Structure 1
Amino acid sequence: MKQIQIILALCCLTFSAYAQKLKLSPVLQNNMVVQQNQPFKVWGQAPAGTVISIQADWQAAPLSVAANAENRFVGIIPVPVARKGDFSKHQITVSTPDEKRVLDNLLIGETWICSGQSNMQFSMHETLDSAREVPAANYPQIRLFSGSLNFSNEPLDSIQGTWQECTPATVYKFSAVGYHFGRELFAKLNVPIGLVFTGIGALAAQAYVPREVLAADTMLNRVYLQPYLDSPKSKEKMDGGFTFEKVTRPFLLYNAVIHPFINLSVKGFIWYQGESNRGERESYTRLTQTMIQSWRAAFGQGNLPFYYVQVAPFWYDKPDSTLADYAFFREAQERVSDLGNTEMVVTMDVGESRDLHPKNKKPIGLRLAKTALNRTYGLLDEAYQGPKFDYAEYGSKEVKVYFRPETVLKGLETNNAKAPEHFFIAGADQKFYPATAKIEGKHLVLTSSKVKKPVAVRYAFTNFPVTNLQNKDGLPALQFRSDNWPEPAPAK
């Protein structure tokens, strides 16, 4: 009897070892959305020299590839164009002469990566309208993947997480901004949507940039990388546990939660981050632009669109309504969009000045979606830009403010039927005073009895203004300043 037990145990061990020979990347799972109309990589591990057959049910013939000397394989298969209203379920079969893995319940559609810190992580059940939106989120044609938190000194190929159909239960803890973005794409495109969330609260942008990329840039190396490498913390053993400090360390999160996805075919990225870098200016602009370029290079799928969210108004426990340090950071954030195929969406009207995590996330997701629909999908009737400052005309008693014509095609309005708020004008003494604003068609007229000869105008250029000016498409005006005066030194 004992001999039989030993033989059975050995057989189980042998079978277990045998069963592990062919492994697919954990990113590739049942229920996922395969990016339409792009080459799709199927990758994993198998013993060196093993011939792997990859057969999608839309292919006439299988693709054969061999595992390399490092026991890895990658096969690239074509994917057809997604057809509106076609939610057919598909299979991809990956096999060797001895084993087979089947990816089932796949859809062909559009896949986006959603990343950033806590305002992107902010879950559906925490939102202002969760009681209405969560029970209604029954969309099996939208698929969700939430990557788990991890840190690594070296790039990783795997990440934990599960592809799931969108239901009230699965959306409950999913990114609210991500869901509303995907839901609007689904409504307008009528094709399956895949959403991959991979982010964590409090992260700093340098955590999402590869080490070698930081090292290659003189400024980024000096500001972010070298101070970390010179500190004792860089010698610590990495584990997956969260700390507020650890998520600000350079490159660790890129290695653990972005690198595992670089073989995944995607349509683009949405990003909501900035609060952890709010004391920075030029270095943040360069850091974020460099991050975007490094992701595009790593994914190797061209100039992928990158749409990001402006940080919302917040007081940071400083009730002085004239402070503007956060406005100067938002300005540095805005300059990120000087990089091609990027765009920033505005949050000034849906912020909560005393809450770092505003609960009204739906408008933000919709604005990201409108940006993608116009810029990526060519639906040019989808307005996506709020009023953007063009120029000002200074008279002896008033200032006329004009906006870029394409951002005020239908004119200006306010969201509460009151006069536009948060305008300031200054004279040559560089002292700003509140101004009364009046809408006249597609421009504004500003006046202030305290400024006899105005030379500069600012709008919403303080730390926590919650604004009401928008165009008649309902999109909020972007903060601006007409001057280039240097930022005042912080008060001691």
Structure 2
Amino acid sequence: MLRKIIILFSISLISFITNAQIKLPKLISDGMILQRDVPVQIWGWAGSGEGISVRFNSKIYRATANEQGKWSISLPATKSGGPYQMEFSASNRIVLKDILFGDVFICSEQSNMELAMGSLLDKYPKEIASANYANIRQFMVPHDYDFINERSDFTAGAWESATAKNVLNFSAVAYFFAVNIQKKEHIPIGIINTSVGGSPAQSWISEQSLRQFPDYYNELQKFKDPSFTKTIDSNNRTKSAAWYALLNQKDDGLKNNWKSNDIDFRNWQELKTVGYLPETVFNKQNGVVWLKKVVSLNKRMISGKVKLLLGRLVDADSVFINGKFVGTTGNQYPQRRYLLNEGILKEGQNTLTIRLVSASARVGFVPDKPYMLILAKDTINLADAWKYKTGAIIPPPSAQTVVRWKPAGLFNAMISPLMPFKIKGFLWYQGEANASKSEEYLRLMQTLVADWRKRWAQGNLPFLYVQLPGYMEIKDLPSESNWAKLRVAQSELLADKNTRMAVAIDLGEWNDVHPLNKKEVGERLALQAEQLIYGRQINASSPYFDSVRRIGQQLEISFKNIGKGLMSMGNGPLKGFAIAGEDRKFVWAEAAVKNNRVVAFNSAITNPMYIRYAWADNPSGANLYNKDGLPAAPFEAQIPNK
């Protein structure tokens, strides 16, 4: 009996000591960058009533944990520099090392902010290989959501400096932004990367602020019920597993081992050049199609490192060479880049096989992407002469609910734990997920900006963001566009104090919602920061519409932020302007730059009432720039009556 009492006492004592010990949030850790020139909060948890001391920069600061065990210490403003050490003492001792003071930026939103340098190995090989910035560091916030509580910590996370190895995990946009700022300002730059692909703006707004949007607020209340979200997740998993089980069961390619080199595929259907397969392949159904191609190689070609680039495939692929598995990608968006192990290729004929699962409206190769086999001294083009055969045709999969994108969930789990941390400003790249409801986007973003600024309590913190780039197929005639409408909403957000926008309509790709040119995006954001935050006397802004007046049949359009003047990029005819009469039937206009204004007209429109510029999902060809090299922002305007 005494032994049991001793054991229970020991367990209780250990539990008490463990609970009493100092615990720090993941953000407060080795290698962190703290905001320079302002008092900063250092916080954590300990036993209720426990005294905590922090030794920093030859001084000691003290605090006492409250009834909930929370404590906080304010450190005085510190100039840029380091490294520093910070020692925490209570019933335990923690020492943090390699702490710097500099400027810290929250970098947030969809996959174009999330897209990592590791996905751009072939786009920026030199930049990655030469990355060696000890004073540029990223904290990667883990993906998570919570509809019930505003969390106070993350499940994981650490600060990493921008070395050639670590930079592969960095947000590409944020990294190029940081490099530009660090080189010009010579201060440490901290990146807090809190981004989730596909997420809409409302998932990053607090519950309190969502009250302004009853539909989203009411939706949040539903998702507060854990059984509701568990049921959705369970149904998603069950439906997905059942669909793939049926697909695998029906797939003749799996049954008959079509990945093998022994398969005679000479009589399969032919795809002369890479592109989408005919719609008749599945006839509004889905399934799996197998593709094969033979590549002949000599002995010299197969030595050394080999890289297989398969652009983008719709939707999910499994790739084999000579019957051996070399890689897989689970959805249509990532670039396919497979490194081949020694012994995969052989002298003579090599058979490439792709098992391609279709769960969307189209199936095949996304055009205008790189399809090649890169050898040590040769490159083999893979863009033509593929054979294909359907393995299975089944009904489309059931639509799924993505729980983590629901209102306030990402705010609670991925923004709330950051808020005691002092920062310099925000970087934001988003809009794709809200394009179908462009009419509410401005109000959503105004709410989000106000919400975050209020929570951080640092005044009107700079909010720098990227306007949607060009995307989707180019249209020959003027047309309506949700993406154009959303771009206008993004422009209108500039009316809020300390907001700046990087226009990126010329940095997109028609066939990729994740365009690869992230370097120029980061540089344009850095330009905005140089002017707004660091006070440099430069023109960082694109031209924006200012006013329009009618002169006979012609329209004269004036712009703000013209910098050194307006120009037609490439010195060709000015393109991208469309005008309409009262019927709002837009036609292309002839346009030219005259005296740093644009004059536009169409002889068929005798009484022009409306003018648009770059009004398309993908306004390729729109070529009005200022002489600083920045593209004009899209707009629509009504001509005022005289």
Aligned to 1:403: 559
Q: How big is the shift at 1:365?
A: 0.9
The residue number in structure 1 matching 2:170 is: 174
C-alpha separation between the residues in 2 aligned to 1:355 and 1:91?
45
Corresponding position of 1:294: 451
Deviations 1:164-214 (A, max 9, x none): 111121111211111111111101111111011011000111111111221
Match of 2:28 in 1: 28
Query: Would the alpha carbon gap of residues 104 and 16 (structure 1) be closer, same or farther in structure 2, given more than 3 Å must change?
Result: farther
Pairing 1:154–2:308 present:
no
Per the alignment, residue 228 of structure 2 pairs with 236
- Give distance in 2, aligned partners of 1:50 and 1:63: 14
- Decide whether the 8 Å contact of 2:36 with 2:102 is kept in 1: yes
CA contact (8 A) 2:420 2:456 kept: yes
Structure 1 residue 244: Cα displacement: 6.6
Which of 597, 606, 609 does residue 455 from structure 1 map onto?
609
**Matches for 1:18-57 after TM superposition, within 5 Å:** 18=18, 21-57=21-57
Pick from 267, 287, 296 the counterpart of residue 424 of structure 2: 267
Closer, same or farther: CA 419–55 of 1 in aligned 2, 3 Å: farther
Letter aligned with residue 64 of structure 2: A
Tell me how far 1:397 sits from its aligned partner.
Answer: 3.8
Kept in 2, the 8 Å contact 1:205–1:248? The answer is no
> Deviations along 1:105-159, whole A, 9 cap, x unmatched?
0111111010011111111133473212211221011111111001112111111
Larger CA deviation: 64-73 vs 16-25:
16-25
SS where residue 506 of structure 2 aligns?
coil
Q: Give the residue type in structure 2 aligned to 1:198.
A: T
Which residue of structure 2 aligns with residue 124 of structure 1?
A: 117
- Map 1:58-97 to 2 at 5 A: 60-82=58-80, 87-96=81-90
Cα distance between partner residues in 1 of 2:571 and 2:506:
14
Higher Cα Rg, which structure: 2
Q: For the Cα contact (< 8 Å) 2:19–2:47, is it kept in 1?
A: no
Change (3 A) 1:448 1:229: same
Cα distance change on mapping 1:195 and 1:441 into 2, 3 Å: same
Instruction: Among all aligned residue pairs of Structure 1 and Structure 2, give the percentage whose two residues are the same amino acid.
Output: 32
Instruction: Give the letter for the 1:226 counterpart.
Output: N
Mapping of 1:201-280 within 5 angstroms? 201-215=197-211, 217=212, 220=213, 222-230=214-222, 235-237=227-229, 245-280=402-437
Would you say the 8 A contact 1:321–1:463 is kept in 2? no
Q: Deviations over 1:416-475 (max 9, x none)?
A: 332221111122332211112222241122232322232322101122112322111111
Query: Match of 2:195, SS?
Result: coil
2:488 matched residue in structure 1:
331
Q: Which residue of 2 aligns with 1:364?
A: 521
CA distance in 2, matches of 1:343, 1:362: 18
Cα distance between partner residues in 2 of 1:203 and 1:320: 31
1:40 positional shift:
0.9
Q: What amino acid does structure 2 have at the position aligned with 1:437?
A: A
Select which of 109, 114, 117 maps to 2:102: 109
Amino acid in the other structure paired with 2:88: V
Give the 3 Å change call, closer, same or farther, for CA 417–168 of structure 1 in structure 2: farther
Deviations 1:191-243 (A, max 9, x none): 1110110110001111111112212x2xx1x231214435797753579x998
CA distance in 2, matches of 1:400, 1:469: 14
Residue 472 of structure 1 aligns with an amino acid whose one-letter code is K
Matched, 1:138 2:118: no
- 5+ long unaligned stretches in structure 2: 237-399
Q: Could you say if the C-alpha distance between residues 173 and 320 of structure 1 is closer, same or farther in structure 2, counting changes exceeding 3 Å?
A: farther
Q: Secondary structure at the match of 2:169?
A: coil
Q: CA RMSD in A?
A: 2.8
Partner amino acid, structure 2, of 1:260: P
Deviates more, 1:363-372 or 1:410-419: 410-419
Alpha-carbon displacement from aligned partner over 1:221-278 (angstroms, at most 9, x marks no partner): x231214435797753579x99872232111111100011111111111111111111
Structure with the higher strand share, 1 or 2: 2
Q: Does 1:191 align with 2:348?
A: no
Shift of 1:298: 1.5
Displacement after TM superposition at 1:72 (Å)? 1.0
Distance 2:401 2:453 in 1: 27
* Stretch of structure 1 that moved more, 37-46 or 432-441: 432-441
The AA in structure 2 aligned to 1:470 is: Y
Moved over 3 A (4+): 13-20, 230-235, 241-244, 316-321
2:570 is aligned, of 402, 405, 416, to: 416
Counterpart contact for 2:40–2:75, Cα < 8 Å: yes
Instruction: Give the drift of 1:95.
Output: 1.1
Query: Residue 114 of structure 1 contacts residue 269 of structure 1 at CA under 8 Å; is this kept in 2?
Result: yes
Stretches of structure 1 lacking an aligned partner (at least 5 in a row): 486-492
Matches within 5 A, 1:421-436: 421-436=575-590
SS at match of 1:329: helix
- Distance in 2, Cα, partners of 1:383 & 1:396: 34
1:226/1:14 Cα in 2 relative to 1: closer, same or farther (>3 Å)? Answer: closer
Distance in 1 (CA, whole Å) between partners of 2:476 and 2:30 is: 51
Secondary structure of the residue that 2:483 maps to in structure 1?
A: helix
The aligned counterpart of 1:483 is 638
- 1:394 corresponds to which of 539, 550, 574: 550
Match of 1:489 in 2: none
Q: Is the 8 A contact 1:92 1:103 kept in 2?
A: yes
1:92 is displaced (CA, Å) by 1.4
2:468 pairs, out of 292, 306, 311, with 311
Whole-Å separation in 2 of the counterparts to 1:484 and 1:397: 12
Equivalent-residue separation in structure 2 for 1:122 and 1:320 (angstroms): 33
CA drift of 1:39 comes to: 1.1
- Cα separation, 1, equivalents of 2:477 and 2:20: 62
Tell whether the 8 Å contact from 1:175 to 1:197 is kept in structure 2 after alignment: yes
Larger mean CA deviation between 452-461 and 47-56 belongs to: 452-461
Instruction: Identify if the C-alpha distance between structure 1 residues 19 and 50 changes in structure 2 by more than 3 Å, giving closer, same or farther.
Output: closer
2:550, 2:639 within 8 Å by CA — same for their partners in 1?
A: no
Summarize deviations over 1:387-410 as a string: whole Å, max 9, x none.
111222322342222212xx1131
Pick which of 318-327 and 262-271 moved more. Answer: 318-327
- Tell me what 1:488 maps to: none
Q: Partner amino acid for 1:90?
A: Y
2:530 maps to amino acid: L
**Partners in 1 of 2:98 and 2:24 — Cα distance?**
16
| Partner SS, residue 76 of structure 1 | strand
Q: Using the alignment, how far apart are the partners of 1:387 and 1:417 within structure 2?
A: 17
